[in-house]
Structure 1
Amino acid sequence: MIKIGLAGWGDHDSLYPPGTAAKDKLRAYGAHFGIVELDSAFYAVQPKERMARYAEETPEGFGFVVKAYQGITGHLRGKPYYDNDDDMYAAFRESLEPVMEAGKLTAALLQYPPWFDCTKENVKILRETKKRLDGFPCALEFRHQSWFAPEFRDKTLSFMREEGWIHSVCDEPQAGLGSIPTVLEATTQPFTLVRMHGRNVGGWNQSGAANWREVRYLYDYSSEELNEWKDRIQLLLRQSATVGVIFNNNSGGHAAGNAKQLMRMMDMPVTEIPKQLDLFNF
């Protein structure tokens, strides 16, 4: 099975008729895509009641990839919200429960920062984190190239298989140590995640700029680039029962269009946006 979707649902204006209220967008999104990445959870653990509502507003078979809170993955700067790690993990687990109980938690996504390199200490952190999130499907994404350096690649994949980490396969610019190659290997049989970050090499490492997020993910995939992924997805499908593809290149509003283009290439049904009636043009 293939599921294709987007990072977030609020900013993809092309999906919704003009005037669609923010509270109605998730329900409308579910008519277009079967999976979504909940990236707001990275900035703040979402209340359990809100997560329950999200589960209720989406169709049967829908899947959420919930990005782990930044305190868990070591991104947090400034004063911590939680007094200790036990409270932080307990809050995140509680937040995931309604979606898990509804059968709609595809994965909790733990994306580690560019400075999280391949060391014994960081392997220990990953092992401890996985134990703390026991019972929940967890996807792992690296941003430091050392994890897939020739001398560590196979060891990293073996570790992920042994620990039960879902592999988050990335399509991203090859821009030095702070980016990883596309490694077409599944590490769990039920599911593999693919995240399409774009290929904006020049904008990838501009984290010092005020608008760095907008620059980093500003990219429109060509037909040729998307066509490359047809065979790649089929390769991953031979290793996993389901492959979920998330487009994260929405700085310029390209994610929804690219996702639907790939769906057409994969002969998947595509829901089009109803055209608005123009009273002066019959």
Structure 2
Amino acid sequence: MIQVGLAGWGDHDTLYPPGTAAKDKLRTYGTQFGIVEMDSSFYAVQPMERMTRYAEETPEGFGFIVKAYQGITGHLRGKPYYENDDEMYQAFRESLEPVMLAGKLTAALLQYPPWFDCTKDNVRILRETKKRMEGFPCALEFRHQSWFAPEYREKTLAFMREEGWIHSVCDEPQAGAGSIPIVLEATTPEFTLVRLHGRNVGGWNQSGAANWREVRYLYDYSQEELGEWKDCIDQLLRQSAKIGIIFNNNSGGHAANNAKQLMRMLDLPVTEIPRQLDLFNL
């Protein structure tokens, strides 16, 4: 089984008729894609009432990838919102429960920062985190290439399998230590996540620039590149029963079109929403 979707549902203008209210976008999105990545949860743990509403607004079989709160993955800068780690993890777990109970939590995504390298201390952090998240499916994504350096690659994958981490396979620019290669290995037989970030090498390491969010994910996948990924997905399907594919190349508005291009290549049904009234087809 393959599900294709996007990072977020609010910023993809081509998916909605003009004038669509923000509150109605998730329902419309759910008629076109079977999975979505929620990144608002990275900036603030979402209230249970909101997560319940999201679960109710999406069809049966729909899946959420919920990005873990930034305090959990070590991204947080400034004063912590929570008194301690126990309180932080409890809040995140409670936030996930409505989606989990609805059968729509595909995974909580724990994406670690570029400075989170392959060390014994960080391996201990991952073990502790997985223990704290027991009972919830958790996907793990690295941003430091040391985890997949030749001397650690197989040990990293074996560790993920042993601990029950879902592998978040990445397509991203190869731009130094803060980027990882494509590693086409499943670590759980039930599910593998694929996140396509684009290949904008020049924009990848511009986090100090004022507009870095606008340029980092500015990329339009070519037909040839998507064809390469079709073959990669076939390879992953031999290892996992289900593959979730998230397009995160949002900066230039390319993600939705690329996702539908790939869906056609995979012979998945594609739904197009009319964006304006055809006056001659009443």
Shorter chain as normaliser: what TM range? over 0.9
CA distance in 2: counterparts of 1:51 and 1:45, whole angstroms: 10
Q: Return the offset for 1:30.
A: 0.2
Aligned to 1:179: 179
CA distance in 2: counterparts of 1:24 and 1:279, whole angstroms: 24
Residue 143 of structure 1 aligns with an amino acid whose one-letter code is: R
CA distance in 2: counterparts of 1:97 and 1:237, whole angstroms: 28
Instruction: Map Cα deviations across residues 39-66 of structure 1 (whole Å, 9 max, x no partner).
Output: 0000000000100000000000000000
Aligned to 1:221: 221
Aligned to 1:33: 33
Instruction: Map Cα deviations across residues 225-250 of structure 1 (whole Å, 9 max, x no partner).
Output: 00001110011011001000000001
Most deviating of 268-277 and 94-103: 268-277
Instruction: Map Cα deviations across residues 113-154 of structure 1 (whole Å, 9 max, x no partner).
Output: 000000000000000000000000000000000000000000
Most deviating of 267-276 and 82-91: 267-276
Q: Return the offset for 1:9.
A: 0.1
Please report the TM-score for the alignment, with normalisation by the length of structure 1: 0.99
CA distance in 2: counterparts of 1:124 and 1:276, whole angstroms: 54
CA distance in 2: counterparts of 1:90 and 1:189, whole angstroms: 28
Q: Report SS of the residue matched to 1:262.
A: helix
- Residue pairs, 1:1-282, within 5 angstroms: 1-279=1-279
Q: Return the offset for 1:268.
A: 0.5
CA distance in 1: counterparts of 2:281 and 2:106, whole angstroms: 45
CA distance in 1: counterparts of 2:117 and 2:260, whole angstroms: 35
Query: Would the aligned equivalents of 2:16 and 2:275 in 1 still touch at CA under 8 Å?
Result: no
CA distance in 2: counterparts of 1:281 and 1:218, whole angstroms: 37
Q: Return the offset for 1:108.
A: 0.2
CA distance in 2: counterparts of 1:275 and 1:268, whole angstroms: 22
Query: Would the aligned equivalents of 2:36 and 2:65 in 1 still touch at CA under 8 Å?
Result: yes
Instruction: Map Cα deviations across residues 216-270 of structure 1 (whole Å, 9 max, x no partner).
Output: 0000000000000111001101100100000000100000000000000001000
The RMSD of aligned alpha carbons is: 1.1
Q: Return the offset for 1:281.
A: 10
Q: Report SS of the residue matched to 2:103.
A: coil
Q: Report SS of the residue matched to 2:140.
A: strand
Residue 32 of structure 1 aligns with an amino acid whose one-letter code is: Q
CA distance in 1: counterparts of 2:108 and 2:281, whole angstroms: 48
Q: Report SS of the residue matched to 1:182.
A: coil
Aligned length: 282
Q: Report SS of the residue matched to 1:243.
A: strand
CA distance in 1: counterparts of 2:152 and 2:181, whole angstroms: 13
Q: Return the offset for 1:275.
A: 4.6
CA distance in 2: counterparts of 1:83 and 1:272, whole angstroms: 46
CA distance in 1: counterparts of 2:27 and 2:252, whole angstroms: 23
Most deviating of 28-37 and 272-281: 272-281
Q: Return the offset for 1:106.
A: 0.2
Q: Return the offset for 1:279.
A: 3.9
Q: Report SS of the residue matched to 1:176.
A: coil
Q: Return the offset for 1:213.
A: 1.1
Residue 82 of structure 2 aligns with an amino acid whose one-letter code is: Y
Q: Report SS of the residue matched to 1:92.
A: helix
Most deviating of 272-281 and 103-112: 272-281
List alignment gaps of at least 5 residues for structure 1: none
Q: Report SS of the residue matched to 2:227.
A: helix
Q: Return the offset for 1:278.
A: 4.5
- Residues 1:53 and 1:144: Cα distance change in structure 2 (over 3 Å): same
CA distance in 1: counterparts of 2:37 and 2:158, whole angstroms: 26
Q: Report SS of the residue matched to 1:115.
A: coil
- Residues 1:135 and 1:281: Cα distance change in structure 2 (over 3 Å): closer
Residue 43 of structure 1 aligns with an amino acid whose one-letter code is: Y
